[in-house]
Amino acid sequence: MEITRQVLVTSLLSLIGSSLLSYFLVLFFKRLALKTGIVDKPRGDRFHQEPVPLMGGNAIYLTFLIFLVVRDLIEVWFGLAMLAGVVFLLYGIIRKPGRMFLFFGLAVAWCSLWGLAATDGVGDQILGLLVGGTILMMVGNVDDARGGIIPYIKVLGQTIAGFFLIYCGIKVNFFVDLGYDLGFQWIKWLSSPFTLFWIIGMTNAFNLIDNMNGLSCGVAVISSFFFGLISFVNGQVPLGTIFFIFMGAGIGYLPHNFPRAKIFMGDTGSLFIGFVIAGLSIVGSWSTAAGWTSGPLKLSLAIPLLVLIYPIFDTVLVMVTRFMRGRPISLGGKDHSSHRLVRLGLQPVDTVLLIYTFSSFAGFCALFLTIIGYEQALLMLAFLFLFIFLVGLRLGKIAVDG
């Protein structure tokens, strides 16, 4: 599909507007974090040597929420309901820290009940995405304010958020198609658990790669750009607009965090952006007219895998190397791919730029898949994944601390 001038202009305006709003909201939350003492202190698995204010993720969230309302993608009253829950939680964190979990529970219940009341299942996908994202943003705020929470609370929050997506019809349809093709209808029941696995996995993946200035948010911005572009090519204009709004929210934050960090987005931001990208990647239909769906493999599945290849690659690398060393996967440490590149001699800024380049290359490959034939796509994917495998072998041999 040809991208019309109107679609291009409208999307660019959304991108510019969300970028500017995010930039100034970050300034507000930076002052608020410093005033309330919500800062990230230096520790062994990070590179900063001085306390850095957190709460940058709130600016990304609020920008996304406001522009969903401005672009008439959600109702004003629903946006205000979500905002009320967030403000209530932040009040509890700042003014009543001893009762933080009480405020957290009430805020999550408020947003969940509004979500259930406003949605009637399939057809309200963006509402489900926003409710789930709001819940995880709240989990992240509590985690940042307390300096960490019990891991199972994060997983519980991710599970609840994932169920909202499934309830609103955001599912991986691959198993439905596979069951139809093979004649085994029972396979379709794998869609829901795999969707939950994808959501939790990608949410944690973006949380894990948030270990260098600008890394997690920058990869999210690049991923959003390619997802948005491919959405426009496939005729999914509203979805492409949402991706561009989300990209703008990240762009507005990046000048405050890269190359020198004046503020961190914290778990508030990394959990939220991972969840939103994971959910939107399922909302999109990545099949094109190139004939992929007629082949023996559903190559359209390669689109989200390629666009999100870096967080997937880094998570798999960490899991495999820690398993082989007998080290718990849930612990932090300087054994991510970014840390290993620094051990090879790169500066942190150069490492992040290299990862940006890698993510952009994978995104271009995903875009290229939409215009080439089935056999050419298979050949390209084979070479690309072989290259990634060899890079993983090399990085896995680098000695790391922890």
Phi, psi of 124 (to 5 degrees): -115, 50
Residue 107 near residue 138 (C-beta atoms within 8 A): yes
CB count in 10 Å sphere of residue 354: 13
**Can you tell me the distance from the alpha carbon of 249 to that of 50, in angstroms, rounded to the nearest whole number?**
26
Q: Both ends of the chain: CA-CA distance in Å?
A: 49
334 φ, ψ (degrees, to nearest 5): -100, 55
Which of 217, 176, 219 lies closest to 195 in space, CA to CA? 176
CA distance 386 to 401: 28
Please give the Cα distance from 386 to 335 (Å, whole number): 22
353 Cβ contact list (under 8 Å, min separation 6): none
Residue 196 identity: L
| Residue 207 is assigned to a ligand binding site | yes
User: Among residues 155, 159, 161, 105, which one has the least CA distance to residue 128?
Assistant: 161
**206 alpha carbon, distance to own chain's centre:** 6
According to DSSP, residue 201 is labeled: H
Closest CA to 263 of 93, 62, 17, 59: 59
Please return the burial class of 87, using the count of CB atoms within 10 Å of its CB with bins 0-12, 13-18 and 19+: exposed
Cβ neighbors of 177 (< 8 A, separation 6 or more) are: 298
Rounded to a whole number of angstroms, the CA Rg of the chain reads: 20
CA–CA distance, 150 with 139 (Å, rounded to integer): 11
The binding site for Mg(2+) comprises 207, 267
> Which residues line the annotated binding site?
207, 267
